[in-house]
Structure 1
Amino acid sequence: MIKPMAPPPEPTAGLLRFCLVLSGIAGAVGIVTLALSAHSGISASLETAAQMLLFHAPVFLGIGVLSQIRQVLILPFTTLSMATGLTLFCGDLITNALLGDGLFPMAAPIGGMLLIVSWIALALGALRVVPRQS
């Protein structure tokens, strides 16, 4: 006898909550970094880091909302790789601008590659979007 397929898991608040936290942190740190860049004249790297943070803050929000209305299996990976990439890329730019030394060698390029991977993962995930079952 063939068993019917189990319905997809119910939406959970876990990824949504995590994405909302990431969105808030990225937005807040982006604003602080942009203000520091504007008022201190320390480095153009600060402005780049701020822009990257502010560009990605709404993306985390969108991923969190999408996780609640559609089943996209790659969203947790996308979220983690984007958050890690943003932390490495922007963290390296900010510490280099403020302290004169980055996080570690190749931190920004590794972070940039993770950001690229996360955007590709998001695009690939869009090809496999499945409506959630009620």
Structure 2
Amino acid sequence: MNSTASIRSLILFLAGLLGCAGVALAAAATHGADAHYFGAASTMCLAHAPALLAVYAGYDRFRTAPAAGLVLGLGTLLFGGDLIYRHFHDTGLFPLAAPIGGFAMMAGWILAALGAFLPVRR
């Protein structure tokens, strides 16, 4: 498997993982877990999982797809992971983990937007 196929597969994997996590976190928030942390993490996961599916589907149509997908997916994992870790440990993964994840998600969206202006390499 070449690196392009590997990155594309990783983006699809992250989409599925985030979608599943989003549903599980929403259920946990509804059934007694901390709705503040679990609800916020669920929202981010459920918002970004379909975005990653779109990146996966349009992977060959815009040049920034690999970077946008990876940054969106990893940023969402970091943001959501920090919120869930806080619930169980009363501290974050590391200082500024959630804000770094949030900025990464924003950067991923900017990368996706830039794809509109960068021609696809043939």
Common fold by TM > 0.5: yes
Distance 2:35 2:50 in 1: 25
Candidates 3, 9, 26, aligned match of 2:18: 26
Which of 90, 97, 119 is the equivalent residue of 2:87?
97
Q: Normalising by structure 1, what TM-score?
A: 0.80
Per-residue CA deviation, residues 55-102 of structure 1 (Å, 9 max, x unaligned), is: 10111110011014x2x2221111111122111111111111232221
State how 1:25-44 maps to structure 2 within 5 Å. Answer: 25-44=17-36
* Equivalent of residue 66 in structure 1, options 47, 58, 82: 58
Q: Work out whether 1:106 is the aligned partner of 2:81.
A: no
Give the % identical residues: 37
Report the Cα offset of residue 128 of structure 1: 2.1
Where do 4+ consecutive residues of structure 1 move more than 4 Å?
Answer: none
Q: TM-score, normalised by structure 2?
A: 0.87
- Give the count of matched residue pairs: 119
Q: Which segments of 5 or more consecutive residues in structure 2 lack a partner in the other structure?
A: none
Cα offset for 1:45? 1.5
User: Which one has the largest radius of gyration?
Assistant: 1
Structure 1: tracts of 5 or more residues without a match? 1-11
Shift of 1:24: 0.7
Secondary structure of the residue that 1:40 maps to in structure 2?
coil
Structure 1 contact 75–125 (Cα < 8 Å) conserved: yes
Q: How far apart are the structure 2 equivalents of 1:20 and 1:118?
A: 15
Question: Helix, strand or coil: the match of 1:126?
Answer: coil
Q: CA RMSD in A?
A: 1.7
- 1:13 to partner: Cα distance: 4.1
Aligned residue type for 1:73:
R
Does the 8 Å contact 1:79/1:118 carry over to 2? yes
